[in-house]
Amino acid sequence: MAVNYAPGTGKFLAILNGAADDADNAEFTEQERTEFMNAWAAWAQKNERALVDPGSPLFRKKVVTAKGVEDFTDSKVGYAIVEAKSHEDAAQLFSAHPHIALIPGNSIEVLECPPIPG
């Protein structure tokens, strides 16, 4: 299987977790939304060389088990995929991400996605 990232780098999945529920999100003003989107765009531009997939929000969730398919909710609100030389470097890319400052308690998980052996 071909590795789709630059030699000497690894691929990492960032999961953005929200501390607030949908009711709290409705309280953002249009100006606050615009300021957040501008801050996100500035972060993405600063880190564009590392971004494999800038991501998107995560909505309308389904879980599939042996028992079937059902809706579920959790705190995961978005994702992004980056390339970095190490797991620590990947995590550092998100240390200044505007999502962290948006609502107290927001967080970003950074998971390593190694190539499938073989």
CA count, 13 A, side-chain hemisphere, 41? 6
Three-state DSSP class for 13?
Answer: strand
Distance CA 59, CA 22 (A): 11
Query: What's the mean pLDDT when you consider all of the chain?
Result: 89
Token output for 49: 């060389």
Domains and CATH numbers, the chain: 10-112 (3.30.70.1060)
Q: What is the pLDDT of residue 11?
A: 97
**Minimum mean pLDDT range among 14-23, 29-38, 106-115:** 14-23
43 pLDDT tier (thresholds 50, 70, 90): very high
**Minimum mean pLDDT range among 15-24, 31-40, 51-60, 95-104:** 15-24
65 strand-pairing partners: 68
